[in-house]
Amino acid sequence: MLINHLWARTLILLVVFGVSTPAWSKYTPEQVKAVYLYRIATFIQWDQELEMNRINICVADDSEIQKILVQITRGKQVRNKPLNITDADCDVLYISERSNLNLLAGLPKGTVTIGGMEQFTNSGGAIELVEKQGKIKPKVNLKNISGYQLSSNFLRVAEIEGGKQ
């Protein structure tokens, strides 16, 4: 358990400081993306957050990321709300396959959409996590954000598109 905790803390530090691929090469892209999903949840302020009793994170199509996310979020909370990895009532939805872009249609306002494929933000998603120049860095399309705000601390490390919110 202590080893898992130390592994997760180390991986979080690597993601936060944007370490290049050689430095995190012992971590898989799935591990890095799972940590990003966890960390991004801490940078979101939902408009209806006072009514929320937990934060549901859904991983639509990547069982490896889902498995890692379950491990690193076990017992964790964001602003006194437990994190719940589930398949329903998503507050955060991660999609890695282009064939699942149809999941973006009809989502309730306030669902944070994150994708692990190129051009996700141009397809209606809010945050894109893809590897570029040896790093996984977030790209945010401000036009696709509704029902929540992203922290300026998160926006500072992201590539921004879509103009002002």
Supply the pTM of this predicted model: 0.82
Query: Which carries the bigger pLDDT value, residue 120 or residue 130?
Result: 120
CATH number for 149: 3.40.50
Instruction: Read off the pLDDT of residues 46-76 as tens digits, 9 standing for 90 and up.
Output: 999 999 999 999 999 999 999 999 999 999 9
Q: Tell me the mean pLDDT in the region 25-53.
A: 92
Domain count, the chain: 1
150: pLDDT strictly greater than 50: yes
CA 165 vs CA 118, 128, 129, 141: distances in Å:
22, 17, 20, 9
Domain of residue 17, residue span: 2-161
Q: Is 117 helix (H, G, I), strand (E, B) or coil?
A: coil
What count of Cα atoms within 13 Å lies in the side-chain half-sphere of residue 135? 14
Q: Can you give the pLDDT at residue 131?
A: 83
Q: Is 129 helix (H, G, I), strand (E, B) or coil?
A: strand
